[in-house]
Amino acid sequence: MTTIGGNNGIGGFYGIGVGPGDPELLTIKAHKKLQDVAVICFTQLDDGQESYALSVVRGILEAANPVFLAITIPSDDDTPIDPQTWDDAAQEVSRHLRNGGDVAFITEGDPMLYSEFFQVLGSVKAVVPDLDVEVIPGVSSVMAAAASSGMPLVTHGQRLTILPRVYGIDDLMEAIANSDTTVLMEVDRELLQALASREKLGLSGKATFVRQASTARENVVEDISKLEAEDLDYFSLLIIKR
């Protein structure tokens, strides 16, 4: 996917991972490219909060002064994203690309792990089929959380499962039974209560909660039964050892 350069005056489209939160965890390549593109595109929840990915890089963009292009999506998980949202964004992105401007879609962590990057890329390619694309990887939250926990995710020969969210306690228990380590994203209160009350599942002492790894709001909790509502955050995950 590293094919950018000399595409008939059409700008390149970059998927850039900005890492887990600490701007010092941006790669040098991401840092350079972000200062060089004409447009920074990102998804933005409709609840008015600044995009997490943008908040990570805003400080380094002041001198570059790019155009910011927000794709607004519902903050409520139960409201599906209107497909028109992606088409409208693609039209806007393609306008900049056809004017020769490079466009970066930024995402927290890495763009190849549970990110909207491929959704946006697909929509843009439908409008600009001969698009030049480059992906610049970022430090995933999974890696940052493991570093914060002080424990390796897995060691040689062990199995790792990453789940984007819980599809049901049974589903989660199956993953835990079949892996040495399970990482669970999008942790919510309901799930924690269900897990904490299931002593018989033997999870006490085996699940580590990590909130906003690498940031000033980082919180690492080893006894999940002690978690309070205010500890929780969308940007948190559980590392569960079998």
Ligand X SMILES: C[S@@+](CC[C@H](N)C(=O)[O-])C[C@H]1O[C@@H](n2cnc3c(N)ncnc32)[C@H](O)[C@@H]1O
Residue ranges that bind ligand X, judged by CB under 6 A: 20-21, 107-110, 113-115, 140-142, 144-145, 185-186, 210, 212-214, 234-237
Q: How far is the CB of 192 from ligand X (least distance, A)?
A: 13
What gap in Å lies between CA 71 and CA 121, rounded to an integer? 13
Q: How far is the CB of 219 from ligand X (least distance, A)?
A: 10
Residue labelled with tokens 């790669």: 27
Q: How far is the CB of 17 from ligand X (least distance, A)?
A: 7
Pick 10 or 145: Cβ nearer ligand X:
145
Q: How far is the CB of 214 from ligand X (least distance, A)?
A: 6
What gap in Å lies between CA 85 and CA 72, rounded to an integer? 8
The token pair that represents 114 in the structure block = 């549970």
What gap in Å lies between CA 129 and CA 50, rounded to an integer? 31
Element (DSSP H or E) covering residue 240: strand 236-241
What DSSP character marks residue 10?
Answer: P
Contact 125, 101 (CB under 8 A): no
SS3 content of the chain, % helix, strand, coil (to 5): 35, 20, 45
Pick 124 or 213: Cβ nearer ligand X:
213
Pick 115 or 181: Cβ nearer ligand X:
115
Pick 38 or 45: Cβ nearer ligand X:
45
Contact 71, 124 (CB under 8 A): no
Q: How far is the CB of 41 from ligand X (least distance, A)?
A: 15
Q: How far is the CB of 10 from ligand X (least distance, A)?
A: 27
Pick 10 or 185: Cβ nearer ligand X:
185
21 Rama sector, left if φ>0, alpha if ψ -120 to 50, beta otherwise: left
181 DSSP β-pair partners = 160, 241
Between strands 207-211 and 236-241, the pairing is antiparallel
Residue with smallest beta-carbon separation from ligand X: 109
Pick 20 or 66: Cβ nearer ligand X:
20
Please tell me whether residue 195 adopts helix, strand or coil conformation: helix
Q: How far is the CB of 175 from ligand X (least distance, A)?
A: 15
Pick 182 or 214: Cβ nearer ligand X:
214
